[in-house]
Amino acid sequence: MKFSTYTKIIVLMSIFVLGCSAPKPCGKKAKAFGNLDGVFNTKYNEYSPTFHNNKLYFSMMPVGKNKEAKVYYSNIKDTGFTFPKEALDLPLKKVKKYGTINFANYGNNEELFFAGSSPKSKSANSNIYYSTKRKNKWSTPLALNSINTKYYESYPTISKDGKMIIFSSDRPDGTGGIDLYYAKRIDDSTWSEPTNLGNKINTDKNEISAFLDEHNNLLFASKGHNALGGYDVFRANYLGNETWTEPIQMPSPINTEFDETGPAIYDENIYLASNRKDGCGARDLYFFQLCSDVQLAGIISDKDNSVYPNGFVRIYDEHRILIDSISISDDGAFQINLKGNKKYYVDYINECSPLFVPETEIITPCNSENFVKMNLTITLPYEPQNYDLGNFKIPFFISGYYKPITRENLRDLRYLFDMNLIGLADSTKYIEFPTNEYDEYSDVVEDAFNQITNKIEELVSSSNSKCTKPIKKQIYIDITGYADARGFSDIAKYAGEEISDELLPYEIYPGMNMDNELLSLLRAYFVQQYLLKEIRKIPNSQSILNSIEWQINAGGAIKSTDDYVLERKVSIKFGIK
């Protein structure tokens, strides 16, 4: 989001709405880099930014003694932020001295957490309160008694799933000063005993204003860890099981020798409060790009140097929404700038390789200091595409029979039964009679084979087109037949015609013992014969057949499901040599 485009128009329109009810923004007076001038910052203190439901919330505290803080919000638009309004719907004023707010979505509930003092208390001790939104109305805030003590508790932040809270406290079991603690949610209003984050995170100085991103990576402000001066913002990556890495100090311009507190991340920008010089006055809100851009440099590589690597590389975001399509030139190179710390999907489509649409998932690294370059190679030729005809969830073969259930084969099989040529003798009783239900299946089977025939024609056409460099290529089609695992009796015999074909590993003759190995081989062979017949109907069929190398395999018995019907199938793979 580019915030340099939203300043003057929004400010001029909004001042008339607010009038004198809120301090006027300082406009372009702030010279500090990253200052959210023009809308948010005034001569007063602006701090603790937090994001919820497409809104930016922050606190504003007038300068001087005995002043009360107020919470404001601004709607996020495509062009930037709207002018802030006081968040009067939040139940904050039912608690004294309320402080930093944070939101959570837990189950079906929208929750608000904040620190403040009990209206009945005579002391100003800070505790953590929560409120639940029901029917668009916030409930009366309740103290989080499973966490609160007689000591100071403040700066609550909640994980995105609402199951972990991190807060600051000066209770006596810490490492010194104010420490960060975490607790796990037990039920809607009860949390586990708080645990100190330990001396990897906490120091003998103050640690405050934690923030958890969607992966529970931790940002917080600390006066320790060799801070440049005052509070600095640190980052620790989540390792799981409520443990984090050693904190890393965020670089300049995020940190300065002044105070930086209240970090929050939105749209890969980091927002914070700082009292650095050249601001609007007191503490101001600032934002900086959290991660540098990442340049994805790719190449379409062909090991055989036989296909022109043109086509399109398409880039999708983590929700699989297309964000860019890049035309690939003959050198196969492409590049695009992406945001850091994001998930993308990259696929490649090329009419010269119609069966090859590879997809790669990438997560871009986050580097807040240096421009990052990533390399991606998409290699041709492709892995063969597999057509497993069992995926149609119907039988492609009659039980015990070897020819696919096309209309012609069903008619021929029924004729054999009618003439008592099979099914009468014990040696052929393993073959099931084709009932009428198979007529419906035959339409699906023939349609599937037509799809495969079209793919073969498409593949041959593309390999002989302008896409192909002048190198001879051969298409191979690998067909494997399968049988279900029920087996045959010792007297089961093959009752078909004699087959002597160089595609088969041996000659097949009538009276051979029938078993799953032979049945699966015959199924692969007769599928090949059917495809061969269909290809011969295509114009220029001889050119197509000259480009094809067939491979016939016996897959034997397969136990892939609990349904024998779905195991009567073939698998067909296409490839290019």
Q: What is the pLDDT of residue 471?
A: 46
A 10 A CB-CB count for 445 gives 24
Cβ atoms of 403 and 526 within 8 Å: the answer is yes
* pLDDT at 122 exceeding the cut of 60: no
- Top-confidence residue, 449 or 200: 200
For residues 402-412, give the mean pLDDT. Answer: 93
- Top-confidence residue, 357 or 264: 264
- pLDDT tens digits for 347-401? 988 776 666 778 899 988 877 767 788 999 887 755 555 655 555 667 888 989 9
Which residues make beta-bridge pairs with 524?
Answer: none
Whole-angstrom distance, CA of residue 40 vs CA of residue 96: 25
Place of tokens 């016996």: 554
Domains, the chain, ordered by start: 3-289 (2.115.10.20), 294-380 (2.60.40.10), 385-576 (3.30.1330.60)
Token pair of 373, please? 């370059």
Whole-angstrom distance, CA of residue 48 vs CA of residue 263: 7
Q: What is the pLDDT of residue 541?
A: 83
Sorted by sequence, the CB contacts under 8 Å of residue 444 that are 6+ apart come out as 392, 394
Q: What is the pLDDT of residue 4?
A: 36
Buried b (16+ CB within 10 A) or exposed e, 255-289: bbebbbbbbbbbebebbbbbbbeebbbbbbbbbbe
Whole-angstrom distance, CA of residue 243 vs CA of residue 188: 24
Which residues make beta-bridge pairs with 52?
Answer: 55
What is the longest distance spanned by two Cα atoms in the chain?
Answer: 108
Whole-angstrom distance, CA of residue 137 vs CA of residue 130: 14
* pLDDT at 100 exceeding the cut of 70: yes
Q: What is the pLDDT of residue 30?
A: 80
* pLDDT at 9 exceeding the cut of 80: no
Whole-angstrom distance, CA of residue 343 vs CA of residue 361: 7
Whole-angstrom distance, CA of residue 41 vs CA of residue 34: 12
Q: At what angle do helices 407-418 and 437-463 cross, to 10 degrees?
A: 140
Of all residues in the chain, what percent carry a pLDDT higher than 90?
49
For residue 412, the 8-state DSSP code is H
- Confidence at 570, pLDDT banded by 50, 70, 90: confident
In 442-538, where do the E strands start and end? 475-483
Cβ atoms of 336 and 357 within 8 Å: the answer is no
* pLDDT at 181 exceeding the cut of 60: yes
Q: What is the pLDDT of residue 5?
A: 32
For residues 116-134, give the mean pLDDT. Answer: 80
Helix H, strand E, coil C: the string for 287-351 is EEECCCCEEEEEEEEECCCCECCCEEEEEECCCCCEEEEEEECCCCEEEEEECCCCEEEEEEECC
Q: What is the pLDDT of residue 132?
A: 95
Q: What is the pLDDT of residue 12?
A: 28
- pLDDT tens digits for 446-505? 988 888 888 777 766 655 555 555 445 677 888 998 888 888 899 999 999 999 999 999
Using CA of residue 158, residue 159, residue 163, residue 166, what is the dihedral sign?
negative
Whole-angstrom distance, CA of residue 548 vs CA of residue 473: 9
Of all residues in the chain, what percent carry a pLDDT higher than 70?
85
Q: What is the pLDDT of residue 88?
A: 93
Q: Report the predicted TM-score, pTM, of the whole model to 2 decimal places.
A: 0.57
Place of tokens 């799809």: 451
* pLDDT at 3 exceeding the cut of 50: no
Q: At what angle do helices 516-535 and 437-463 cross, to 10 degrees?
A: 60
Cβ atoms of 256 and 239 within 8 Å: the answer is no
Whole-angstrom distance, CA of residue 348 vs CA of residue 315: 9
Q: What is the pLDDT of residue 242?
A: 94
Beta strands 294-302; 372-380: pairing state: parallel
Helix (H, G, I), strand (E, B) or coil at 49: strand
Q: What is the pLDDT of residue 468?
A: 56
Whole-angstrom distance, CA of residue 278 vs CA of residue 204: 31
Token pair of 116, please? 């403040």
Out of 3-12, 280-289, 295-304, 364-373, pick the least confident.
3-12
Q: What is the pLDDT of residue 165?
A: 97
Write out the DSSP string of 339-387. -TT-EEEEEEE-TTSTT---EEEEE----SSS-EEEEEEEEESPPPEEE
